[in-house]
Amino acid sequence: MLALYEWTKLLYFKSYEKKIFLLISLVLIYLIHNHLNPEGSKLILWIASIFWLCMAPLFLIFKINLKNSFLSALIGWTLVIPLIISLNFLVQLSPWTVLIVLTTIWLADSGAYFFGKKFGKRKLAISISPGKTWEGFLGALFLVSLFSIAMTYFGFVNSYLSILFFNLILFLSIEGDLFESYIKRMAKVKDSGDLIPGHGGVLDRIDSLCSSLPLATVILMSPAFFGVII
């Protein structure tokens, strides 16, 4: 709910539209917690995955301005609601699954930051997020690939094909970070909020999770594709 509240501050919501959006959001979260079945969960995760694979890149490429409050609301729900479903499923699957998937995203963020800081020269998306570089991306790719190989070698995952799975999480996590940066640039703000001093708001902390976890969860529902997390 805090993330969704921050979303309303970033976009073109009028005062009464914010209240309606947050009220509907609260109802949706209640329904997910109490009444959503596995088929409905999978459908929502597929919708979110399609958004991140097909639609979000168009927003980034063509700099589409979100001036329509209804569209802004739909995208806000597409960011946060599938994340809740994903985390619920992964927690039920196993604690190791949660830890491994989240560690992949943390390594991607850390690798991009440290390699970009040390070697960064070529900008990845200068008009959206000037701080991100291709060197940082390659550093993240290296760390995540190394992590996936280690996870397979030590038996936490049963197939080296999982390298593809882990790197898919990496690509989507970077896209989520860029997408939120694009929204903040439209809103002319540095952070989505000030809840966490020095780190910004809730959306700043979960943007990579919002983009990567829905498709990761869909894949883990059919684990034979990339290997099974033990």
Q: 18 with 8: CB under 8 angstroms? A: yes
94 or 51, which is more confident? Answer: 51
Is the per-residue pLDDT at 225 higher than 70? no
Report whether pLDDT(92) > 90: no
pLDDT value of residue 172:
95
User: Stretch 160-184: mean pLDDT, rounded?
Assistant: 91
State how far Cα 84 lies from the chain centre. Answer: 11
Instruction: Give me the mean pLDDT over the 216-229 stretch.
Output: 71
Computed over every residue of the chain, the mean pLDDT equals 89
Taking only the tens place, the pLDDT of each residue in 133-159 is 999 999 999 999 999 999 988 888 878
Per-residue pLDDT tens digits for 184-205? 988 888 888 877 766 688 999 8
Which SS3 state, helix, strand or coil, does residue 64 take? Answer: coil
Specify the pLDDT at position 229.
57
pLDDT of residue 228: 56
> Can you give the residue ranges of every domain in the chain?
2-225
Query: Who wins on pLDDT, 96 or 217?
Result: 217
Question: For residue 93, is pLDDT > 60?
Answer: yes
Residue 74, number of CB atoms within 10 A of its CB: 12
Residue of 223 and 119 predicted with greater confidence: 119
Six-digit token pair at 42? 């999978």
User: Which residues pair with residue 229 across a beta bridge?
Assistant: 157
Cβ–Cβ under 8 Å, residues 204 and 193: yes
- In this structure, what token pair is assigned to residue 150? 């280690």
What is the C-alpha separation between 109 and 170, in angstroms, rounded?
A: 9
Q: Is the dihedral of CA 86, 79, 104, 106 positive or negative?
A: negative
Please compute Rg for the chain using Cα positions. Answer: 18
Q: CA 53 to CA 104: how far, in whole Å?
A: 19
Nearest-10 crossing angle of helices 69-93, 2-10: 150
Does 52 have pLDDT greater than 80?
A: yes
Q: What global pTM score does this model have?
A: 0.90
